[in-house]
Structure 1
Amino acid sequence: MNAAPRIALTADDDEFFRAGLRTILAKHLGFPEVIETSSFDEALELLAARNDVALALFDLQMPGMDSPGSLRTVREFFPETRVVMISASTSREDVLMALDAGAHGYIAKGLSMTKMACALGTILEGNIYIPPSTSEIPSDPAARFVLQDRAERKDGDISLLTPRQRQVLELLVRGKSNKEIARMLNLSDGTVKVHMAALFKNLGVNSRAAAAAIGGRHLQPEEGATGT
């Protein structure tokens, strides 16, 4: 992976923070290209459209980052990409949940540019980066971790879905195939498969029929009738 030109992706709804990451990735880590996006759905679509993304950075509380299944989908479909969670939170619960979901590292936004570059360099070398202070922070049983809180909702809760996953579900309820969904949403077949997998994880199902059954019960009639 290091022999080919390395491409990085940053997914964060704060454009100023993305600008800082771009500087670190380009000037300190030598990435010739840095792709930027502001939502999880867009990040998935960009990853699916390319096969040369070596590093993907996700903000913990960005739009669409609704459950550990979000990161697990990325790890499943893009195994060669190093995935990193970046957050303003230094909560031990946040760090452990992100790592359990498959992140190769967890970096606090409060780090200096030099320290953040070192942390990312460690991850790119094939290591897992954990904030040094993590072991010193006592677990807080009262803490409510964002992903854990959402993940505790019951299977079949469509409120877990991102906007794109909801569109895919609406078309699935209408009986559309992946190819038809791809054409109607102007996506590639591969991108639809990624969104479908994320949809299954968030709904807690493992088949199109089960997902369609949930969608049929919970989507409003007018929602199921649109999908374009």
Structure 2
Amino acid sequence: MKSRKLIALIADDDEFFRMALASILTSKLKFAEVVQAASLDEAVEKLSARSDISLALFDLAMPGIESPANLRAVRDCFKTLRVAVVSGSKSRRDVLTALEAGVHGYVPKGLGVTELAHALQLIVDGVIYVPPSIATLPSTAEERPAPPRDAVSPPKSALATLTPRQRGVLALLVEGKSNKAIARDLDLGEGTVKVHMAALFRSLGVSTRTAAAVAGGRLLQPEP
């Protein structure tokens, strides 16, 4: 039986690191193709445009990953996709927050080439990779997760966690437009709008379009 061609997506705003990681994926893990993106919005659009990507790697410092809701939305909308974080952060909170968002692994950028390739191979093989160093990472009061937001009246700071595309989607949602109309107005695929909508629901702490529109209307109101 012919083996399936492996295709990965690397979402990182560091072009040099993307190229280095792509080299590891193709030479060590035998990936046939590596798609690259420099922001979450670009990554979502590329994931929505094709169904043959099997592994997606995200850097927490990349534009758009301000909220774990975005990682969870990717997981929710691409059920068969293996999603992992490859990050320079050694924060215990970042590791646990990413894992709680449902990613299939957290790989530190500081690993050597051999260790990095091994960690990624485990993720491809279906293992949830957790860095062994997490056992020795400090757990400080400053790293405790923030308390849940009020879902009815999200603070204005919630707007800062949205990507530019998500803000555009939210503004049109507040106007009462459908996903199809939003996709047409923003020149996006409906699948891409669906992912952004899922992220918005999680960021705003709501579960319906009506509640999202109400919360969004409050967020987008100019300061008095």
Scaled by the length of structure 2, what TM-score is found?
Answer: 0.90
Q: Per-residue deviation at 1:152?
A: 5.1
* Corresponding letter in the other structure for 1:180: A
What corresponds to 2:190 in structure 1?
189
Report if aligned partners of 2:92, 2:143 keep a CA contact under 8 Å in 1: no
What corresponds to 2:115 in structure 1?
115
What corresponds to 1:135 in structure 2?
135
* Corresponding letter in the other structure for 1:139: S
In percent, how many aligned pairs have the same letter?
56
Aligned mates of 2:78, 2:42 — CA distance in 1: 15
* Corresponding letter in the other structure for 2:38: S
Report if aligned partners of 1:160, 1:203 keep a CA contact under 8 Å in 2: no
The yes-or-no answer on 1:57 pairing with 2:57 is yes
* Corresponding letter in the other structure for 1:108: P
The yes-or-no answer on 1:162 pairing with 2:163 is yes
Aligned mates of 1:171, 1:35 — CA distance in 2: 29
Aligned mates of 2:134, 2:209 — CA distance in 1: 40
Secondary structure at 2:141 match in 1: coil
Where structure 1 has 5 or more consecutive residues not aligned to the other structure, the ranges are: 222-228
Q: Per-residue deviation at 1:88?
A: 1.0
Scaled by the length of structure 1, what TM-score is found?
Answer: 0.88
Aligned mates of 1:88, 1:163 — CA distance in 2: 24
What corresponds to 1:225 in structure 2?
none
What corresponds to 1:178 in structure 2?
179
Q: Per-residue deviation at 1:9?
A: 0.3
- Two-structure CA RMSD over aligned residues (Å): 1.8
Report if aligned partners of 1:8, 1:54 keep a CA contact under 8 Å in 2: yes
Secondary structure at 2:72 match in 1: helix
Aligned mates of 2:12, 2:122 — CA distance in 1: 21
The yes-or-no answer on 1:199 pairing with 2:206 is no
Q: Per-residue deviation at 1:220?
A: 4.3
Secondary structure at 1:83 match in 2: strand
The yes-or-no answer on 1:103 pairing with 2:99 is no
The yes-or-no answer on 1:69 pairing with 2:69 is yes
Report if aligned partners of 1:6, 1:32 keep a CA contact under 8 Å in 2: yes
Bigger shift: 92-101 or 18-27?
92-101
Equivalent pairs counted in the alignment come to: 216
The yes-or-no answer on 1:208 pairing with 2:209 is yes
* Corresponding letter in the other structure for 2:160: S
